[in-house]
Structure formats: structure tokens, C-alpha cells
Structure 1
Amino acid sequence: MIKDITYMHEHVTIDLSKEKNNIDCKLDSFEETKKEFLRLKELGVTRIVDVTNIGIGRNVDYVMKMEESTGLKIYMSTGYYKEPFLPKEVEELNVEKLAQKMIDDIRIGIDGKKKCATFIGEIGTGFKVITELEKKVFHAAAIAQKATGVFITTHTSLGKLGHEQLDFLENLKADLNKVILGHTALANNLDYIRSLLKRGVYIEFDTIGKDSYLPDEIRAQFIKELCDEGWSDKIIMSVDLTRKSHLKTNGGIGYAYLIENFLPMLRKIGVQEVFLEKILVENPKKILGVRSK
């Protein structure tokens, strides 16, 4: 059993229900989530990165209560998601003020609380182009990253526009070695993933268990090939649950799916245990600045 695991891209709570006109997209089931998090703890998980940010249901009190109730360490985020989920302040404030809000979340605390943001993200883009408001968020994120040194974690819609995101950040002198690209496996193109890795970023295999996006067999094969090629130092994983119906108690895959179902699949096709330790334990600790015992 692998111990000291970190889930690198989750939502302790999130609300996309208004824009999607679907109450299922409001994940705020405290007791059900608590039950699943306690199961994660039994399975060796010690940390969770919550990438819910401003405007999509970020709730620092909720997260702090979850931490206290489960004993898990939960890292929170700042920034703004993507259109059409951006709050009005993204349009109303200039880039510098948006960046300062992120910096304050990181240095001072979220919503007047002592808990600070550890990540900028998930900041995202759509399927075809990066909109002007999304560029504004990425610009502010680059400023905030340079001021604080924290990681930027991104959302790519079905894996698209990964290089466009990186080009934009690179032009703003952001540190690509401190960028995590989310969902890129959904492009279903291993050469594309390799080309992103060559730019120094971390690639996140998330949405695991969501076979409607991409069968897990393909995710597993991608991970095996990348590990065999020497990329295990730049891979992290998570399931990325966002709906009430994703919870196991509601008939979904549940947060534990990664450990209970996906890890056995990786082992079965020959992914070495040393690689799994890197992906689930060592790489997240390096990103988070956690010292190994």
C-alpha cells in the first residue's frame, strides 16, 4: 500500500450549477464528502489540492471544517476559472488589481481567514481560442506567480490549447517549470503530451474514471509509456470530481476510484511501483514543498 498520497486536482466544493442550469453541478454535500475523504485517509491519502477558485463556489469555512473533520491537509487556490464562469470583477478590474487579489489570497489569507491559497488555478480556456477575459486572468496569474513563486494549475477543455496557454504564459515571463496542465490526456494524443512535457511543465492525469471523456485503458497506457520513457518525475494524478452524482454514495465513481480501481489497472499493465510512488507521493510533495520523512 502506497502511503502519503496527494490528490492534486479536486473540488471539495464547487458550484457551476447556474451556468450549466443543472443543480447536480453544485457539489456541497459535506457529510457524503467527509465519508469519502475518511476512506481516502484509510487508503493512504494525506493531502488534497482543492482547485475551486473565485466565482465558482470557493468556501474557505467549508474547507477548514472538512480539514478539521477528516484530518486531511487541504490546500486551497486563488484565481478565476474560464468563461462563462468568470465573475464580473474579471471584467471590471484591471489586470494589476486581479493579480493583487491573487497575491493577497496567497500572502494574507482567503476571505479574511488565516488559511492562505497555495495555488493559482484552476485557470482555464475553452475549445478553440483563448478569450480576452481568459487572457486577462492568465496575465494576472503570471504577475501573481512572479510575485509569490507559487504554481499555476490550468484547465484545458478536452486537452486543447495546451501550447497556446504555455505560449501566453511564457511571453509574460511566467515560470513554466511551475505550471501544471490539467486534462491534457483528453486530447487522446500521446505525442501532444510529450511535446508539452518537453517545455518543462507537469502533466496531470485527472478525470480518471470518467470514461465518457477517455477510457481509462488509454490513460493507463499513456502513463506506462511516459514512465518507461523517463517522464515519471513530471506526472501527477487526481480524479477531479465536480458533481453530486460523482460521489459514490450517489452512484458515482467516488474519490477513492483512483486508488481502488485505477492503480490496480496500472499495476496490471506493468507500471513499476517506483513510478507510482513518484506520481502519487514524491512529485506532489516536491510541488508543495513538503519534505520527505
Structure 2
Amino acid sequence: MSAVRTVLGDLPPAELGVCDAHDHLFFASPRLPGEELRSGSAARAELAAFRAVGGGAVVQWTPYGLGRRAADLPALARESGVHIVAATGLHQDVHYDERVLKELRGRLAEVFVAELTDGIGTSGVRAGLIKVAGGFHALDAHARWTMTAAAEAHHATGAPVAVHLELGTGALDVLDLLCGELGVEPHRVVLGHLNRSPDPVVHRQAARSGCYLAFDGPSRANHATDWRMPDAVRALADAGYGDRLLLGGDTTTASARSVNGGPGMPYLLRRVAPRLAAAVGEELVRGILTENPGRAFGVAWRRP
């Protein structure tokens, strides 16, 4: 039976509710000095604000070594009434000290599997997805290493693989590697940040594989992609891929949190969803926020 693996246990997909399919409660990277998401009280307030506008679930894509604070997530889920899904996986190498990467050599897939089945560290919190990352229009050796380990962990557990696409690029290379060479089932792959590169041809080619396509995060002004996102979603829906689309907020900096004056998690439901509904209809948006995440992250879990 399919289940979404939340920090409070496995959940039937139909009970997930309105889902922010890609966001961060905790995140700390040397690439973003001074903008770390480390405050438990701020995370609690952000979840409360999200819940107040109708939010029911958040999928945290923060992977290994970037301040996940897995032990704090169950209490936050219970207090807020928002389901939380945690991640294992590994980001691009620029987010890590070389010492950390050396320690993972030869055992990366083993780490992923352990965090999916036994729990993250000593927290007992099991991850519900594997997050990895590509590069800008390419896959370097680090990306191939992490995706190979992710594929091995997927085959052992059934876990979905969520992919950060750098500025929305490289989607087809990722699918060629994960699904072509490494045998990951396409419907177990989520491609993130497609809103950052609104190429309708690539979007359709990726969707044709059977993967999920995530439009996640309000763009920076100079990217000029927010206003094009409804057209991209409409084009995919018109082509028959409306059941493969996801929406997320991807809050990665402290200043972006709503409690600090930024858009934060509530922005997804307060502004993005109504804007999208005006373009493609409320029924489709409702499905993208509720039904699609349950299918994308709901798994018939296997134990190796």
C-alpha cells in the first residue's frame, strides 16, 4: 500500500492535504552566510502562518549536512498540525566542506538507505525522499556520484528522488542518467525549479517520461519567470500532464521568511495559487496542491 513517509510516521496520500511540495524549515549553507534557517521559533511561526492560509503539509528538501534538525521536526508537526516530510540526499559539492564529502565516499547509498529506513542520526525520524542536484546545463562528477547513490537507495526502498535543477536547467540530462542509465522509475522522480527555465519544449519532453515537474519558489525580479509560470503550467495541462505538476515555495533564506517580512511559505497559497487559478482554473490548482503530491511522494515502501 502506498504511503507518504512523514516525520510522525507513514500517512495515506489522501490525508496529506494542501501541500507545499518543496520548502525548507531549516537550512544552512556556506553559500548563504548570515541567512541560515536555524531558528526553531521562526520555523514554528512560519508553519503557523502557512496553516492559517490553508496549508496542510510541507516537504522539506534539506538534505544531509545542511542543518536539517530532524529531531525538531516531529514536535513542529504536532504543534502546527502540518504534516512534514524530511529528506535524505546530498546537494551540490559547493555546499559542503571537502572533509564531509570524503567521509561519505564509498558509503553514500548506505547513508541514504539508513536515513530512509532507520532514521536520520539518532532522531528516529525517517526521511521520505532523496534530494540530489544537477549543475547548470550539465552533470558533473559529483552529480553523477550522488545520483548513482540515490538510484541505489531508490531501488532498495522505493523512495522518490527529488532533483534540484540549477536555474531550472539540465532536466533531460538528469532523466537520461536517473531513468535511462540507472533504472529509476520515472514516476519516482521529481524535477525541481522548472519555473526558472520556462522552456515549453523541454517541459513537455520531461513530462513525457512520466516524471513530476515542480514549479517551486517565487523568482528573483531579474529572472522574469513568475509571470510566465501560469503559461507553462497551462501548456503542460493542455498537453495532458496536469496530474504531474507540483507547486512549492522553496524558502532558503531567513530574510525570505514571512515572519521576517518576506514571502515565505504562505505566499504559495496567498498569491501564487490564486494567480495560477485565474489562468488555469481552480480545479487544476486544487489537484496540483492536493492529489499530485500524494502520488509523487506516496510510495509502496520496501525494506532492504
Residue 209 of structure 1 deviates from its aligned partner by 5.1
Specify the alignment match of 1:60 in structure 2. 70
Q: Establish whether residue 6 from structure 1 lines up as the match of residue 19 from structure 2.
A: yes
Q: Establish whether residue 243 from structure 1 lines up as the match of residue 253 from structure 2.
A: yes
Counterpart selection for 2:153 from 144, 150, 171: 144
Unpaired runs of at least 5, structure 1: none
Q: Establish whether residue 76 from structure 1 lines up as the match of residue 89 from structure 2.
A: no
Q: Establish whether residue 230 from structure 1 lines up as the match of residue 243 from structure 2.
A: no
Residue 128 of structure 1 deviates from its aligned partner by 4.3
TM alignment of 1:66-145, pairs within 5 A: 66-87=76-97, 88-95=99-106, 97-121=107-131, 123-145=132-154
Regions of 4+ moved over 6 Å: none
* Mapped partners of 1:182, 1:254: distance in 2: 18
Residue 232 of structure 1 deviates from its aligned partner by 0.8
* Mapped partners of 2:53, 2:260: distance in 1: 20
* Mapped partners of 1:191, 1:48: distance in 2: 29
Determine if contact 2:207/2:213 at 8 Å carries over to the other structure.
Answer: yes
Residue 92 of structure 1 deviates from its aligned partner by 4.1
* Mapped partners of 2:118, 2:287: distance in 1: 32
Normalised TM-score (structure 1): 0.90
Specify the alignment match of 1:168 in structure 2. 177
Determine if contact 1:90/1:133 at 8 Å carries over to the other structure.
Answer: no
Determine if contact 1:205/1:237 at 8 Å carries over to the other structure.
Answer: yes
> Aligned letter for 1:19?
R
Specify the alignment match of 1:23 in structure 2. 34
* SS of aligned partner of 1:15: coil
Per-residue CA deviations over 1:189-233 (Å, capped at 9, x if unaligned) read: 111111111111100000135444343210122112222222110
More displaced, 152-161 or 243-252?
A: 243-252
Specify the alignment match of 1:268 in structure 2. 278
Per-residue CA deviations over 1:54-82 (Å, capped at 9, x if unaligned) read: 12111112222321321211110101011
* Mapped partners of 2:222, 2:28: distance in 1: 21
> Aligned letter for 1:43?
V
Residue 138 of structure 1 deviates from its aligned partner by 0.6
Specify the alignment match of 2:291 in structure 1. 282
* SS of aligned partner of 2:240: coil
* CA spacing shift, 1:129–1:268, aligned 2, 3 Å: closer
* Mapped partners of 1:176, 1:77: distance in 2: 19
* SS of aligned partner of 2:210: coil
TM alignment of 1:168-247, pairs within 5 A: 168-169=177-178, 170-208=180-218, 210-247=220-257
% identical aligned pairs: 26
* Mapped partners of 1:57, 1:131: distance in 2: 24
Determine if contact 2:203/2:236 at 8 Å carries over to the other structure.
Answer: no
Determine if contact 1:158/1:186 at 8 Å carries over to the other structure.
Answer: yes
* Mapped partners of 1:198, 1:109: distance in 2: 34
Residue 90 of structure 1 deviates from its aligned partner by 3.2
Q: Establish whether residue 153 from structure 1 lines up as the match of residue 162 from structure 2.
A: yes
Determine if contact 2:26/2:43 at 8 Å carries over to the other structure.
Answer: no
Determine if contact 2:258/2:264 at 8 Å carries over to the other structure.
Answer: yes
Q: Greater relative contact order: 1 or 2 (C-alpha under 8 angstroms, separation 6 or more)?
A: 2
* Mapped partners of 2:56, 2:108: distance in 1: 32
Unpaired runs of at least 5, structure 2: 1-15, 300-304
Determine if contact 1:237/1:280 at 8 Å carries over to the other structure.
Answer: yes
* Mapped partners of 1:52, 1:162: distance in 2: 20
> Aligned letter for 1:279?
I
Aligned length: 282
Determine if contact 1:48/1:75 at 8 Å carries over to the other structure.
Answer: yes
Q: What is the RMSD of the two structures over their aligned residues, measured on CA atoms?
A: 1.8
> Aligned letter for 1:31?
S
Determine if contact 1:5/1:44 at 8 Å carries over to the other structure.
Answer: yes
* Mapped partners of 2:139, 2:85: distance in 1: 27
More displaced, 216-225 or 134-143?
A: 216-225
Residue 289 of structure 1 deviates from its aligned partner by 2.7
Normalised TM-score (structure 2): 0.87
